[in-house]
């Protein structure tokens, strides 16, 4: 009877008193922009782990993945027009859009130093053999293409020496290699292992040719993030938990299961990918979402070298907001 009376008393309480309690119990909707080219790639692993392991829910967030067609520019545009609240984006596109007037800013790192394999048809033995052939290349404004051209240049192969077909996304480039017309393509993991198992040949890896850099980040509009601080800090905290989960050897089976489920690759390829990253440690992933300013400076230098930026070069700090990482206990 006491419980019934207590409930009755709550029903009779003023709506003004009830509203804050109800609102506090409701998860905050968080719309995250994800590129079609990344949705089935290893570069979505931290987000998928955070979602599947309940880290977003633990932070009171109702996480919604919103697929955005097109390249990196469209990811930032989705922020600007309010389609999404946060977005995955490669750093060169964030920098370019910010310099063009966007208030988009990096709030956490997603991938630091990716390893891309230059994979070719079986009959192609060396990078030099690619002269006159077709290479399926990533977006020319991105760091994948930059590192790939650096790798080719180490063997004296220049852009004028090959035919270039621009293809966004590792799965799409793998398909071009498998079905034609591509003779070679840069592939991330685990698709590069899948290609090797099918008999294709690895000619080199991007880390042979370029120093460390910051590849992808989570970005938000400064104005939106400032007015939704609790949500942003919760997101960053959940992302940090995902990185720690991925790095924990005791969680290896669960991480492999996530890769297999979200990328439709074999368990063997998933395990080989994690071994490549962590045995030994190659600093492919952040420890917990921290932003390496030195890595972002390297991206700016890359862009200057390709003519995308001109002196005086902007400071890397212009494109980041570290306070959310600080509040989450990460930076």
Task: For residues 293-309, give the mean pLDDT.
Answer: 92
Q: Report the pLDDT value the prediction gives residue 227, as an integer from 0 to 100.
A: 98
Task: For residues 110-129, give the mean pLDDT.
Answer: 95
Write out pLDDT tens, residues 124-154.
999 999 999 999 998 887 788 989 999 999 9
Mean pLDDT of all residues belonging to the chain: 90
Percent pLDDT > 70 in the chain is 92
Read off the pLDDT band of 24 (50, 70, 90): low
> Which stretches does DSSP call E strand in 40-102?
61-68, 86-90
| pLDDT of 15 above 70 | no
Higher pLDDT, 300 or 8: 300
Q: Which of 37, 27, 109 is nearest to 63 (CA)?
A: 27
Q: The tokens of 117 are what? A: 């394999």
CB 82 within 8 A of CB 49: no
Write out pLDDT tens, residues 243-289.
999 999 999 999 999 999 998 888 999 999 999 999 999 899 999 99
Task: Go through the domains of the chain in sequence order and give each one's CATH number.
Answer: 24-112+214-327 (3.40.190.10), 117-208 (3.40.190.10)
Cα–Cα distance, 23 to 140 (Å, whole number):
46
**HEC profile of 214-256:** CCEEEEEEHHHHHHCHHHHHHHHHHHHHHHHHHHCHHHHHHHH
Q: Report the pLDDT value the prediction gives residue 324, as an integer from 0 to 100.
A: 98
Choice among 72-76, 157-161, 287-291 with the minimum mean pLDDT: 72-76
Q: Report the pLDDT value the prediction gives residue 112, as an integer from 0 to 100.
A: 92
Higher pLDDT, 17 or 232: 232
Q: Report the pLDDT value the prediction gives residue 205, as an integer from 0 to 100.
A: 92
CB 200 within 8 A of CB 272: no
Q: Report the pLDDT value the prediction gives residue 136, as an integer from 0 to 100.
A: 97
CB 33 within 8 A of CB 86: yes
Q: Report the pLDDT value the prediction gives residue 69, as an integer from 0 to 100.
A: 87
Read off the pLDDT band of 25 (50, 70, 90): low
């Amino acid at each position: 009877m006491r419980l019934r009376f207590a409930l009755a008393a709550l029903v009779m309480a003023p709506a003004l008193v009830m509203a804050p309690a109800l609102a506090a119990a409701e998860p905050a909707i968080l719309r995250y922009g994800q590129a079609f080219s990344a949705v089935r790639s290893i570069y979505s692993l931290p987000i998928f782990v955070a979602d599947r392991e309940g880290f977003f829910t633990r932070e009171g967030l109702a996480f919604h993945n919103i697929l955005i067609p097109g390249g990196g520019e469209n990811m930032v545009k989705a922020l600007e027009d309010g389609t999404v609240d946060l977005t995955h984006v490669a750093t060169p596109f964030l920098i370019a859009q910010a310099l063009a007037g966007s208030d988009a800013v990096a709030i956490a790192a997603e991938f630091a130093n990716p390893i891309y394999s230059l994979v070719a048809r079986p009959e192609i033995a060396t990078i030099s053999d690619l002269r006159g052939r077709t290479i399926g290349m990533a977006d020319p404004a991105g760091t994948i293409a930059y590192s790939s051209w650096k790798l080719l240049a180490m063997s004296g192969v220049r852009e004028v020496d090959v035919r270039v077909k621009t293809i966004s996304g590792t799965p799409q480039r793998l398909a071009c290699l498998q079905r034609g017309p591509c003779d070679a393509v840069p592939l991330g993991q685990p698709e590069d292992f899948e290609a090797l198992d099918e008999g294709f040949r690895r000619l080199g890896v991007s880390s042979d040719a370029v120093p460390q850099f910051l590849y992808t980040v989570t970005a938000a509009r400064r104005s939106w993030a400032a007015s939704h601080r609790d949500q942003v800090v919760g997101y960053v905290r959940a992302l940090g938990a995902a990185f720690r989960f991925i790095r924990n050897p005791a969680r290896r089976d669960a991480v492999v299961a996530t890769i297999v489920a979200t990328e439709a690759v074999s368990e063997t390829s998933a395990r080989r990918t994690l071994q490549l990253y962590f045995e030994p440690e190659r600093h492919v992933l952040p420890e917990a979402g921290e932003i390496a300013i030195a890595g972002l400076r390297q991206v700016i230098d890359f862009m200057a070298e390709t003519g995308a930026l001109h002196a005086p070069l902007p400071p890397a700090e212009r494109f980041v907001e570290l306070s959310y990482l600080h509040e989450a206990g990460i930076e």
